[in-house]
């Protein structure tokens, strides 16, 4: 549930042009790792890609590139990922 809340908050903040808040929430969603729950590789990659979009909107292209590389690495590391 926490992952979904953070991801949705990030999307809402993006829609409201609160790009720093969106990036913070989306990064927190991607890095979520608790004893009860860890997002799948696909979920983490989605959060990273959405954060990259927020960074592109903010003109922070180098940081966006880093998020996209992170998303790709997450997916490459999970052979069971459908992506």
Q: Are 23 and 55 in contact (CB under 8 A)?
A: yes
Single pTM value for the model: 0.88
* Rounded (5°) CA angle 24-27-33: 125
Write the DSSP assignment of 4-63 as a string of letters. Answer: HHHHHHHHHHHHTT-HHHHHHHHHHHHH---SS----HHHHHHHHHHHHHHHHHTT-HHH
Q: Are 55 and 39 in contact (CB under 8 A)?
A: no
pLDDT tens, the chain, 83 aa long:
899 999 999 999 999 999 999 999 999 999 999 998 899 999 999 999 999 999 999 999 999 999 999 999 999 887 665 55
């Amino acid at each position: 549930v926490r992952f979904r809340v953070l991801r949705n908050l990030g999307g809402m903040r993006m829609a409201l042009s609160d790009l720093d808040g969106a990036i913070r929430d989306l990064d927190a969603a991607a890095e979520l790792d608790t004893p009860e729950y860890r997002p799948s590789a696909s979920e983490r990659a989605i959060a990273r890609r959405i954060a990259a979009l927020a960074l592109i909107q903010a003109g922070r292209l180098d940081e966006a590139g880093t998020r996209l590389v992170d998303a790709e690495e997450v997916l490459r590391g999970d052979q069971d990922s459908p992506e």
